[in-house]
């Protein structure tokens, strides 16, 4: 990157305050920006926490202008309507996306004569496309990818190196699958017969809908019958396990190392944070959020935030956690009370005697 503050203001259509000739050579997050960097602030909270920011140029949300005046930034400031979007726009301008190569089917790829490959699609060297596969237009099937028999892949799909698709998988449009993920291995299902675990055959498949993105080293197993489904626009991180017959809704977010047991279903806009595990046949209601490391044995209602093992509403979990911290104090109180009660019991016994005595005397 090599822009003056003035050039940047022009690119982001912002209002410049400060030296328009200042030269910026890099972009960084607000935490470690230096005087030759541009960075951005898009919330009052971030603004408060970064009064000493050293960035050369700062893109700041214009509705924060009042708060900025109270602070002495050393930076040139450019006010914009949406600071994060402007920052991303600047980065895109500075880093024009590399043109997709356009070589078609590499002579070093292995493509079955019965496969159909769409226009503008690249099959990289060392990729294997098996019999009966259909791939749409403008896809990139990278080095070492294996696409099993009869898979059907849409348009504008990117499959990164060494990904494996077992046979008969369906992939929508604009799907991205990162390196070494495995889609469509047999589900983990056995039947104990005469002391041996006998495989239950998996006749089903996997369907990945449009605009899904799948991380690296993630596994999505095929269904016993029907299909394991990842709904439109859902995003799955690295090292996630999705077992047979799960049916995931639209626009879900599953963070790294999440594990879903068999036949889990979810509504739309569900979020599972890192290391969350969901038991089989559980339903995650639309818009629910599972905190990291939660273990989820039962259905989660729509819109709720659950956390813990077993997962419970976050307010309950917090209350229980607070209460747990009080246990040592409670033990002390209990001991104290016990002593007092013993003392009172002793007094009561004495006092009764005294009373009796008194009564006696009085009588």
Q: Which of residues 37-66 bind its own copies (CB under 8 A)?
A: none
CA dihedral sign, ordered 105, 108, 112, 114: positive
Minimum Å gap between C-beta 72 and its own copies is 26
Binding mask 66-85 for its own copies (x = CB under 8 A): ------------------x-
Q: How many residues bind its own copies (CB under 8 A)?
A: 109
Tell me the two tokens of residue 285. 């209601």
Q: Of the two residues 160 and 207, which places its CB atom closer to its own copies in the complex?
A: 160
Q: Of the two residues 15 and 203, which places its CB atom closer to its own copies in the complex?
A: 203
Among 8, 12, 17, 27, binds its own copies (CB under 8 A): 27
User: Which listed range, 3-11, 16-24, 57-65, 159-167, lies at the site for its own copies (CB under 8 A)?
Assistant: 159-167
Residue 283 binds to its own copies (criterion: CB under 8 A)? no
- Report the C-alpha dihedral over residues 223, 225, 226, 230, rounded to 10 degrees: -10
**CA dist list (Å): 203 to 181, 223, 284:** 21, 7, 26
* Residue 42 CA, distance from chain mean position: 22
Minimum Å gap between C-beta 70 and its own copies is 26
Cβ-based neighbours of 230, under 8 Å, separated by 6 or more: 206, 207, 208, 209, 212, 214, 220, 236, 242, 248
Residue 11 binds to its own copies (criterion: CB under 8 A)? no
Among 74, 104, 201, 301, binds its own copies (CB under 8 A): 201
Q: Are 274 and 259 in contact (CB under 8 A)?
A: no
Could you list the active site residues?
244
Q: Of the two residues 20 and 150, which places its CB atom closer to its own copies in the complex?
A: 150
Residue 99 binds to its own copies (criterion: CB under 8 A)? no
Within residues 286-315, the interface with its own copies by CB under 8 A covers: 292-293, 295, 308-310
Among 4, 11, 28, 304, binds its own copies (CB under 8 A): 28
Among 6, 64, 110, 132, binds its own copies (CB under 8 A): 110
Among 21, 25, 103, 203, binds its own copies (CB under 8 A): 203
Q: CB-based burial of residue 273 (10 Å sphere; 0-12 exposed, 13-18 middle, 19+ buried)?
A: middle
Residue 217 binds to its own copies (criterion: CB under 8 A)? yes
Minimum Å gap between C-beta 359 and its own copies is 5
Minimum Å gap between C-beta 2 and its own copies is 15
Among 146, 206, 248, 288, binds its own copies (CB under 8 A): 146
Minimum Å gap between C-beta 57 and its own copies is 14
């Amino acid at each position: 990157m090599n822009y003056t503050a003035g050039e940047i203001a022009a690119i982001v259509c912002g209002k410049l305050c400060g030296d328009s000739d200042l030269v910026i050579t890099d972009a960084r997050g607000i935490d470690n920006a230096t005087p030759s960097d541009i960075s951005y602030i898009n919330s009052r909270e971030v603004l408060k926490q970064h009064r000493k920011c050293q960035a050369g140029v700062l893109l700041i949300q214009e509705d924060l202008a009042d708060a900025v005046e109270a602070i002495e930034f050393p930076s040139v400031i450019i006010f914009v309507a949406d600071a994060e979007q402007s920052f991303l726009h600047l980065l895109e301008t500075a880093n024009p996306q590399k043109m997709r190569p356009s070589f078609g089917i590499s002579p070093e790829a292995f493509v079955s004569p019965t496969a159909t490959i769409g226009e503008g699609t690249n099959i990289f060297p060392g990729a294997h496309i098996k019999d009966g596969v259909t791939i749409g237009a403008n896809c990139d099937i990278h080095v070492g990818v294996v696409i099993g028999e009869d898979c059907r892949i849409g348009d504008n799909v990117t499959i990164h190196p060494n990904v494996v698709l077992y046979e008969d998988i369906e992939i929508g449009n604009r799907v991205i699958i990162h390196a070494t993920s495995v889609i469509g291995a047999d589900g983990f299902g056995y039947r104990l017969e005469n002391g041996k675990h006998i495989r239950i055959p998996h006749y089903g498949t996997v369907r990945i809908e449009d605009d899904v993105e799948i991380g690296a080293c993630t596994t999505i197993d095929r269904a016993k019958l029907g299909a394991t489904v990842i709904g439109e626009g859902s995003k799955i991180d690295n090292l996630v396990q999705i077992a047979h017959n799960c049916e995931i809704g639209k626009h879900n977010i599953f963070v790294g190392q999440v594990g879903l047991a068999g036949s889990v279903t979810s509504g739309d806009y569900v979020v599972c944070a890192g290391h969350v595990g969901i038991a089989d046949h559980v339903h995650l209601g639309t818009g629910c959020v599972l905190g990291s490391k939660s273990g989820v044995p039962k259905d989660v209602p729509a819109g709720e935030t659950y956390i813990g093992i077993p997962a419970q509403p976050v307010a309950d979990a917090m209350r229980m956690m607070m209460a747990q911290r009080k246990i040592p104090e409670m033990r002390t109180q209990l001991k104290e009370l016990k002593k007092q009660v013993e003392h009172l019991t002793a007094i009561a016994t004495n006092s009764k005697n005294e009373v009796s005595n008194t009564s006696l005397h009085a009588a």
